[in-house]
Amino acid sequence: MSPQAGWILQEEVVPRLRSAIPRNVRQIGYEDADELVQDSICIAAKLLDNCERANKKVTAGNIAYYTILHMKSGRRSHGSSNADALGTGTQLHGRSTTTSLDEPVDGAELGEEFSVSDVFSTDDEDPGQKAARKIDWAVFMASLSDREKSVVEGLLMGLNGSEVGRALGIDPSSIRYFKQRLAMKILEHFGHDILAEIRRMPGWKNSLNCNREKLACRNHRRN
Protein backbone atom coordinates (compact mmCIF):
# COMPACT_ATOMS: atom_id res chain seq x y z
CA MET A 1 0.00 0.00 0.00
CA SER A 2 1.36 3.40 -0.97
CA PRO A 3 1.70 6.27 1.52
CA GLN A 4 -1.14 8.10 -0.23
CA ALA A 5 -3.48 5.12 0.13
CA GLY A 6 -2.47 4.77 3.76
CA TRP A 7 -3.30 8.43 4.36
CA ILE A 8 -6.72 8.01 2.72
CA LEU A 9 -7.38 4.95 4.88
CA GLN A 10 -6.40 6.69 8.11
CA GLU A 11 -7.90 10.11 7.51
CA GLU A 12 -11.01 9.43 5.42
CA VAL A 13 -12.03 5.76 5.61
CA VAL A 14 -11.45 4.99 9.29
CA PRO A 15 -13.58 7.91 10.62
CA ARG A 16 -16.48 6.71 8.45
CA LEU A 17 -16.12 3.18 9.78
CA ARG A 18 -15.89 4.28 13.42
CA SER A 19 -19.14 6.16 12.98
CA ALA A 20 -21.11 3.59 10.97
CA ILE A 21 -19.97 0.14 12.16
CA PRO A 22 -21.39 0.24 15.74
CA ARG A 23 -24.80 1.37 14.42
CA ASN A 24 -25.11 -0.82 11.34
CA VAL A 25 -23.29 -4.10 12.03
CA ARG A 26 -24.85 -6.70 14.29
CA GLN A 27 -22.65 -8.02 17.07
CA ILE A 28 -22.47 -11.82 17.20
CA GLY A 29 -21.44 -13.78 20.28
CA TYR A 30 -18.35 -12.37 21.93
CA GLU A 31 -17.95 -9.46 19.48
CA ASP A 32 -18.06 -5.84 20.61
CA ALA A 33 -18.10 -2.54 18.75
CA ASP A 34 -14.37 -1.87 19.08
CA GLU A 35 -13.50 -5.30 17.74
CA LEU A 36 -15.85 -4.86 14.78
CA VAL A 37 -14.25 -1.52 13.95
CA GLN A 38 -10.80 -3.12 14.01
CA ASP A 39 -12.01 -5.91 11.73
CA SER A 40 -13.53 -3.40 9.34
CA ILE A 41 -10.28 -1.43 9.14
CA CYS A 42 -8.42 -4.60 8.15
CA ILE A 43 -10.99 -5.36 5.43
CA ALA A 44 -10.92 -1.76 4.20
CA ALA A 45 -7.12 -1.81 4.00
CA LYS A 46 -7.23 -4.99 1.93
CA LEU A 47 -9.87 -3.55 -0.42
CA LEU A 48 -7.90 -0.35 -0.87
CA ASP A 49 -4.70 -2.24 -1.52
CA ASN A 50 -6.38 -4.53 -4.08
CA CYS A 51 -7.83 -1.54 -5.92
CA GLU A 52 -4.48 0.19 -5.95
CA ARG A 53 -2.75 -2.91 -7.34
CA ALA A 54 -5.40 -3.16 -10.08
CA ASN A 55 -4.99 0.57 -10.90
CA LYS A 56 -8.66 1.23 -10.09
CA LYS A 57 -9.71 4.64 -8.86
CA VAL A 58 -12.01 4.55 -5.87
CA THR A 59 -13.13 7.06 -3.27
CA ALA A 60 -12.97 6.74 0.49
CA GLY A 61 -16.77 6.56 0.50
CA ASN A 62 -16.70 3.56 -1.88
CA ILE A 63 -14.24 1.69 0.34
CA ALA A 64 -16.23 2.45 3.50
CA TYR A 65 -19.53 1.47 1.85
CA TYR A 66 -18.38 -1.93 0.61
CA THR A 67 -16.54 -2.61 3.86
CA ILE A 68 -19.77 -2.07 5.79
CA LEU A 69 -21.61 -4.39 3.40
CA HIS A 70 -18.99 -7.07 3.96
CA MET A 71 -19.26 -6.69 7.73
CA LYS A 72 -23.07 -6.82 7.66
CA SER A 73 -22.98 -10.05 5.62
CA GLY A 74 -20.80 -11.72 8.26
CA ARG A 75 -17.38 -11.34 6.71
CA ARG A 76 -14.50 -10.71 9.07
CA SER A 77 -10.80 -10.10 8.55
CA HIS A 78 -9.99 -13.60 9.87
CA GLY A 79 -12.43 -15.42 7.56
CA SER A 80 -15.92 -15.59 6.10
CA SER A 81 -16.84 -19.27 6.37
CA ASN A 82 -20.52 -20.23 6.35
CA ALA A 83 -19.71 -23.81 7.35
CA ASP A 84 -17.87 -23.19 10.61
CA ALA A 85 -20.31 -23.63 13.50
CA LEU A 86 -18.72 -20.70 15.32
CA GLY A 87 -18.39 -18.55 12.20
CA THR A 88 -20.11 -15.17 12.22
CA GLY A 89 -21.70 -15.75 8.81
CA THR A 90 -23.06 -19.12 9.91
CA GLN A 91 -24.76 -17.58 12.94
CA LEU A 92 -26.10 -14.61 10.99
CA HIS A 93 -27.79 -17.00 8.57
CA GLY A 94 -29.35 -18.91 11.48
CA ARG A 95 -27.47 -22.13 10.77
CA SER A 96 -25.94 -22.29 14.25
CA THR A 97 -26.22 -20.60 17.63
CA THR A 98 -23.93 -20.34 20.63
CA THR A 99 -24.94 -20.67 24.27
CA SER A 100 -22.98 -19.63 27.33
CA LEU A 101 -21.91 -22.46 29.64
CA ASP A 102 -23.12 -20.32 32.55
CA GLU A 103 -26.67 -20.09 31.16
CA PRO A 104 -29.19 -21.65 33.59
CA VAL A 105 -31.03 -24.84 32.70
CA ASP A 106 -34.49 -25.60 34.01
CA GLY A 107 -34.14 -28.22 36.74
CA ALA A 108 -37.43 -27.62 38.54
CA GLU A 109 -38.41 -31.30 38.26
CA LEU A 110 -35.29 -32.28 40.21
CA GLY A 111 -35.57 -29.45 42.70
CA GLU A 112 -32.14 -28.09 41.77
CA GLU A 113 -30.64 -25.37 39.62
CA PHE A 114 -28.24 -26.28 36.85
CA SER A 115 -26.14 -24.47 34.29
CA VAL A 116 -25.21 -25.72 30.83
CA SER A 117 -21.72 -26.59 32.10
CA ASP A 118 -23.28 -28.91 34.72
CA VAL A 119 -25.28 -30.71 32.05
CA PHE A 120 -22.27 -31.30 29.81
CA SER A 121 -19.78 -31.99 32.57
CA THR A 122 -18.84 -35.51 33.57
CA ASP A 123 -17.21 -37.05 36.59
CA ASP A 124 -14.87 -38.99 34.35
CA GLU A 125 -11.17 -38.25 34.41
CA ASP A 126 -9.73 -35.37 32.42
CA PRO A 127 -9.02 -36.64 28.84
CA GLY A 128 -5.81 -34.61 28.81
CA GLN A 129 -4.51 -36.44 31.87
CA LYS A 130 -5.47 -39.77 30.35
CA ALA A 131 -3.56 -39.02 27.16
CA ALA A 132 -0.50 -37.76 29.04
CA ARG A 133 -0.46 -40.82 31.29
CA LYS A 134 -0.79 -43.13 28.28
CA ILE A 135 2.19 -41.48 26.61
CA ASP A 136 4.28 -41.68 29.79
CA TRP A 137 3.35 -45.33 30.27
CA ALA A 138 4.32 -46.17 26.68
CA VAL A 139 7.73 -44.57 27.23
CA PHE A 140 8.17 -46.46 30.49
CA MET A 141 7.23 -49.82 28.94
CA ALA A 142 9.70 -49.22 26.11
CA SER A 143 12.49 -48.96 28.70
CA LEU A 144 11.78 -52.45 30.15
CA SER A 145 13.22 -55.76 29.12
CA ASP A 146 11.02 -58.40 27.45
CA ARG A 147 10.84 -60.43 30.68
CA GLU A 148 9.83 -57.38 32.70
CA LYS A 149 7.18 -56.48 30.12
CA SER A 150 5.75 -60.00 30.40
CA VAL A 151 5.57 -59.71 34.19
CA VAL A 152 3.80 -56.34 33.96
CA GLU A 153 1.30 -57.65 31.39
CA GLY A 154 0.55 -60.69 33.56
CA LEU A 155 -0.06 -58.54 36.63
CA LEU A 156 -2.29 -56.19 34.63
CA MET A 157 -4.35 -59.20 33.56
CA GLY A 158 -5.08 -59.88 37.23
CA LEU A 159 -2.75 -62.82 37.74
CA ASN A 160 -0.97 -63.22 41.05
CA GLY A 161 2.77 -63.79 41.42
CA SER A 162 2.54 -67.60 41.35
CA GLU A 163 0.36 -67.60 38.23
CA VAL A 164 2.70 -65.18 36.44
CA GLY A 165 5.66 -67.35 37.44
CA ARG A 166 4.05 -70.54 36.09
CA ALA A 167 3.07 -68.78 32.84
CA LEU A 168 6.62 -67.55 32.29
CA GLY A 169 8.41 -70.56 33.78
CA ILE A 170 9.92 -68.48 36.56
CA ASP A 171 10.22 -69.27 40.26
CA PRO A 172 7.72 -67.30 42.37
CA SER A 173 10.56 -65.81 44.43
CA SER A 174 11.98 -64.39 41.19
CA ILE A 175 8.62 -62.81 40.44
CA ARG A 176 8.80 -61.07 43.81
CA TYR A 177 12.20 -59.73 42.83
CA PHE A 178 10.83 -58.52 39.48
CA LYS A 179 7.94 -56.75 41.21
CA GLN A 180 10.27 -54.94 43.61
CA ARG A 181 12.55 -53.88 40.78
CA LEU A 182 9.58 -52.69 38.71
CA ALA A 183 8.29 -50.67 41.66
CA MET A 184 11.66 -48.91 41.95
CA LYS A 185 11.74 -48.20 38.22
CA ILE A 186 8.20 -46.77 38.34
CA LEU A 187 9.17 -44.44 41.18
CA GLU A 188 12.27 -43.32 39.31
CA HIS A 189 10.37 -42.73 36.07
CA PHE A 190 7.14 -41.16 37.33
CA GLY A 191 8.35 -39.63 40.61
CA HIS A 192 7.65 -40.44 44.25
CA ASP A 193 4.35 -38.52 44.18
CA ILE A 194 2.84 -40.68 41.43
CA LEU A 195 0.15 -42.14 43.74
CA ALA A 196 -0.96 -38.66 44.78
CA GLU A 197 -0.94 -37.45 41.17
CA ILE A 198 -3.21 -40.20 39.84
CA ARG A 199 -5.76 -39.47 42.59
CA ARG A 200 -5.68 -35.69 42.13
CA MET A 201 -8.87 -34.15 40.75
CA PRO A 202 -8.49 -32.14 37.52
CA GLY A 203 -8.26 -28.40 38.17
CA TRP A 204 -11.02 -27.57 35.68
CA LYS A 205 -13.56 -29.34 37.94
CA ASN A 206 -12.97 -27.01 40.90
CA SER A 207 -15.41 -24.31 39.80
CA LEU A 208 -18.05 -26.91 38.84
CA ASN A 209 -17.81 -28.59 42.24
CA CYS A 210 -17.98 -25.23 44.03
CA ASN A 211 -21.14 -24.30 42.13
CA ARG A 212 -22.71 -27.69 42.85
CA GLU A 213 -21.95 -27.42 46.56
CA LYS A 214 -23.32 -23.86 46.66
CA LEU A 215 -26.55 -24.92 44.95
CA ALA A 216 -26.86 -27.97 47.23
CA CYS A 217 -26.48 -25.77 50.34
CA ARG A 218 -29.02 -23.30 49.00
CA ASN A 219 -31.51 -26.10 48.30
CA HIS A 220 -30.87 -27.54 51.78
CA ARG A 221 -31.60 -24.18 53.42
CA ARG A 222 -34.86 -23.84 51.45
CA ASN A 223 -36.06 -27.22 52.64
pLDDT of residue 103: 73
The residue with greater pLDDT, 180 or 127, is 180
Q: How confident is the model over 71-91, as a mean pLDDT?
A: 75
For residue 114, give the 3-state DSSP assignment: strand
pTM: 0.44
Residue 4 pLDDT class (50, 70, 90 cuts): confident
Determine contact, residues 74/29, Cβ cutoff 8 Å.
no
Instruction: Please write the tens of the pLDDT for every residue from 115-143.
Output: 776 666 665 666 777 788 888 888 888 88
CB neighbours of 131 closer than 8 A, spacing ≥ 6? none
For residue 138, give the 3-state DSSP assignment: helix
* Whether pLDDT at 85 is above 70: no
Which backbone phi and psi does 208 adopt, to 5 degrees?
Answer: -65, -45
Q: How confident is the model over 14-32, as a mean pLDDT?
A: 85
**% of the chain at pLDDT higher than 70:** 74
Can you tell me the distance from the alpha carbon of 152 to that of 180, in angstroms, rounded to the nearest whole number? 12
For residue 105, give the 3-state DSSP assignment: strand
For residue 205, give the 3-state DSSP assignment: helix
CA torsion 160-169-181-145 (nearest 10°) is -120
**% of the chain at pLDDT higher than 90:** 5
Can you tell me the distance from the alpha carbon of 27 to that of 71, in angstroms, rounded to the nearest whole number? 10
Q: Residue 99, exposed/middle/buried by CB under 10 A (0-12, 13-18, 19+)?
A: exposed
Can you tell me the distance from the alpha carbon of 204 to that of 184, in angstroms, rounded to the nearest whole number? 32
Q: How confident is the model over 162-186, as a mean pLDDT?
A: 82
CA torsion 61-66-72-78 (nearest 10°) is -110
What are the chain's domains?
3-92 (no CATH), 104-124+202-222 (no CATH), 127-199 (1.10.10)
